[in-house]
Amino acid sequence: MPPDNLEVAVSANEDPSKQIEHQLQQVYGSGTYLSDFYKADSGNITLSIGNSFPKDVSDCRPQSDRVIKYIAIDDIADLEGTYNDGQYIINLEPREDIEEGLSEGKKRLRDDLDQAMAKATYKKIARTPAVENQLNPIKQILRWTRIHDEPSFDEVKKAQDKDGDKTLRYVKTLEELGFIQLEEGKLYPQDPLEKYDLGSIGDEAFNQAILGEVIEKGFKRLSRDLGLGIILNLPKFANGYYLDAIERRDPDLHLDMDRIQENMIDLYGYSASYHPYELQDKLSLLASLDILKKDNEGYYTAQEDTFNQISTFAPV
């Protein structure tokens, strides 16, 4: 266990942050760094620490050089300290708390990557038959709300003929995402839905556009609350490739299926371990949607449009 306090002697003309960071690395490990540092006029300090860990992002083609990048996770813990007679006395946190903060930081990284991938690919994902089929009840509610004059929830529920409270859950999700409003038993379209001309409601372009918007804004809710797992899973498979490509800033990075599987396990844990047959199916689907590219030797590379958008949205 680390001591309760860390004493760091710093002369008046030294930058205290560098010396403090060095001493914290002795306590919490060499990957520790200061992600934020503030010194008050009184001499008291507040600081946030981060941690970085190595990641092999080598190209999988034979004779390629090995490349290691360090992934940084900011703000895993906050510390405070006081200044007295040439010394900073910093109150330390238990190592278990630091490790928990790092774990939470990695989860934020995963969530941010998922969100970035959903933003970059939602229009492509929306046109897959499996996603369209899963989202058909959503599509029905949006269409009926737009083309009928203040339809009642009871009529929509009757038309869908779903078991239990499924229709209500769909409506509540769409209401929370801002597409419709349920008031006194009636459904009203909101701005994201009202902007579509009545004449286009229900055609293929509308279906892809509106479902794409729903996925972009609420893919986590759709998966978690409504059990639409494919919407959450496809970005995970894509990130098995794009994590390394974004770290290297190289859309021509060639990865094989085994490396993509390893990356998925690193990011999401062993629940993301898939049989090679299923993994190949999902990666082939991503290639057919122009989210990934696959060459004749079985290596996967980035689709440039997707890579450029992910580079904009992703935190790594």
Residue 188 domain flag: yes
Residue 104 domain flag: no
For the whole model, what pTM was predicted? Answer: 0.77
Total Cβ atoms within 10 A of residue 104: 14
pLDDT at 310: 87
What string of pLDDT tens digits covers the 316 residues of the chain? 456 888 888 776 677 888 899 999 999 999 999 999 998 888 789 999 999 999 999 999 999 999 999 999 999 999 999 888 888 899 999 999 999 999 999 998 888 888 888 878 877 887 778 777 778 888 899 989 988 889 999 999 999 988 778 899 889 999 999 999 999 999 999 988 888 777 677 677 777 778 778 877 877 777 766 666 677 778 889 999 999 999 999 999 999 999 999 999 999 889 899 999 999 999 999 999 999 999 999 999 999 999 998 888 766 5
Residue pair 92/249 in contact (Cβ under 8 Å)? The answer is no
The total domain count for the chain is: 3
Identify the domain containing residue 50 by its residue range. Answer: 5-93
Determine phi and psi for 84, rounding to 5 degrees. Answer: -155, 115
pLDDT at 201: 74
pLDDT at 315: 60
| Distance from C-alpha of 297 to C-alpha of 162, rounded to nearest angstrom | 47
Residue 115 domain flag: no
- Helix count and strand count (H, E) for the chain: 12, 9
Residue 223 is part of a domain; what is its CATH number?
A: 1.10.10.10
Residue 131 domain flag: no
Residue 117 domain flag: no
The answer on 168 and 146 residing in a single domain is: yes
Residue 116 domain flag: no
pLDDT at 1: 47
The CA distances from residue 308 to 17, 300, 305, 314, in Å, are: 36, 16, 5, 10
Residue 121 domain flag: no
| Distance from C-alpha of 46 to C-alpha of 38, rounded to nearest angstrom | 5
The answer on 247 and 179 residing in a single domain is: no
Residue 185 domain flag: yes
The answer on 81 and 9 residing in a single domain is: yes
| Distance from C-alpha of 118 to C-alpha of 215, rounded to nearest angstrom | 7
All residues at 6 or more sequence positions from 154 whose CB lies less than 8 Å from its CB, including other chains: 185
Angle, to 10 degrees, between the axis of helix 229-248 and the axis of helix 204-226?
100
Which amino acid is located at 133 in the chain? N
